[in-house]
């Protein structure tokens, strides 16, 4: 079993990289564990507090549960992954996602390298780098189409939390990466290098 961490700022192209790696490893069983599923429940906050909630600070994540469930997967156990809603800022009390162990486990999220206990469980750490303007445009497109936000909300949040938290926590965590992918998720050469690295690591673990 191989555990791969893929980090990078919001809108950097992490999902594109995850899809590319999953596609390249089609002969292997791969599961993806998104950091976003492990946000702490904030359903008790008022609408104004939810609007100002900082999703880009490490304190927003339930690291204890994420580390615990990853360890269970690594030991061959099936987990019940939480389901989180960005719309209501809540974790479902009735619904979970069943995730079974696999040859390759990919953990994906903006803050995953900020947690030492989580980093220690990773075999390969990848940081997806991208230009600030490109990231802003992707974040804007995603939040408007997928999360029901308007342009004003996206720009305000980007200025207030996304960019400052990137500079304070996410960008510095790049130093823990084994591989850094420039140009976001469209760097085919980097994807090929990652594929070779993963295959080599899988052979060594076999």
pLDDT of 62 reads: 97
- How many whole angstroms separate alpha carbon 174 and alpha carbon 140? 23
The fold of the 2-205 domain, in CATH, is: Rossmann fold (3.40.50)
Looking at the DSSP bridge assignments, the partners of residue 5 are 107, 125
- How many whole angstroms separate alpha carbon 147 and alpha carbon 194? 31
Select from 118, 116, 74, 117 the least CA-distant residue to 99. Answer: 74
- How many whole angstroms separate alpha carbon 90 and alpha carbon 157? 19
pTM above 0.85, yes or no: yes
What three-state secondary structure class fits 84? strand
Q: In the block, which residue shows the tokens 């492990």?
A: 38
pLDDT of 82 reads: 96
Of residues 107 and 46, more confidently modeled: 107
**What's the sign of the alpha-carbon dihedral 135, 140, 146, 149?**
positive
Mean pLDDT of 49-61: 85
pLDDT of 109 reads: 96
What three-state secondary structure class fits 85? strand
Looking at the DSSP bridge assignments, the partners of residue 99 are 79
Mean pLDDT of 141-155: 76
**Six token digits for residue 142:** 């995603």
Using the predicted structure, report yes or no on whether residue 115 has a pLDDT greater than 90: yes
Taking the CA atoms of residue 101, residue 105, residue 107 and residue 113 in that order, the dihedral angle to the nearest 10 degrees is 110
What three-state secondary structure class fits 5? strand
Q: In the block, which residue shows the tokens 């104004």?
A: 48
Phi, psi of 198 (to 5 degrees): -65, -45
Mean pLDDT of 65-94: 92
Select from 101, 112, 102, 61 the least CA-distant residue to 82. Answer: 61
Using the predicted structure, report yes or no on whether residue 190 has a pLDDT greater than 80: yes
Using the predicted structure, report yes or no on whether residue 123 has a pLDDT greater than 90: yes
């Amino acid at each position: 079993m191989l555990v791969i961490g893929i980090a990078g700022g919001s809108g950097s192209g992490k999902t594109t990289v995850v899809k590319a790696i999953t596609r390249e490893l089609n002969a292997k069983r791969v599961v993806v564990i998104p950091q976003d599923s492990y946000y702490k429940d904030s359903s008790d906050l008022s609408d104004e507090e939810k609007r100002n909630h900082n999703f880009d600070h490490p304190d927003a994540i339930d690291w204890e549960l994420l580390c615990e469930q990853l360890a269970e997967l690594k030991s061959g156990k099936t987990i019940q992954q939480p389901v989180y809603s960005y719309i209501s800022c809540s974790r479902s009390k009735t619904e979970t996602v069943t995730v079974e162990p696999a040859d390759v486990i990919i953990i994906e999220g903006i803050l995953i390298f900020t947690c030492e206990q989580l980093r220690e469980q990773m075999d390969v750490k990848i940081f997806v780098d991208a230009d600030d303007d490109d990231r802003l445009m992707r974040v804007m497109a995603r939040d408007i189409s997928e999360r029901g936000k308007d342009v004003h909300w996206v720009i305000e949040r980007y200025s207030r939390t996304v960019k400052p938290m990137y500079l304070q926590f996410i960008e510095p965590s790049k130093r823990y990466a084994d591989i850094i992918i420039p140009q976001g998720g469209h760097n085919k050469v980097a994807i090929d290098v990652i594929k070779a690295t993963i295959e080599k690591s899988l052979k060594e673990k076999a």
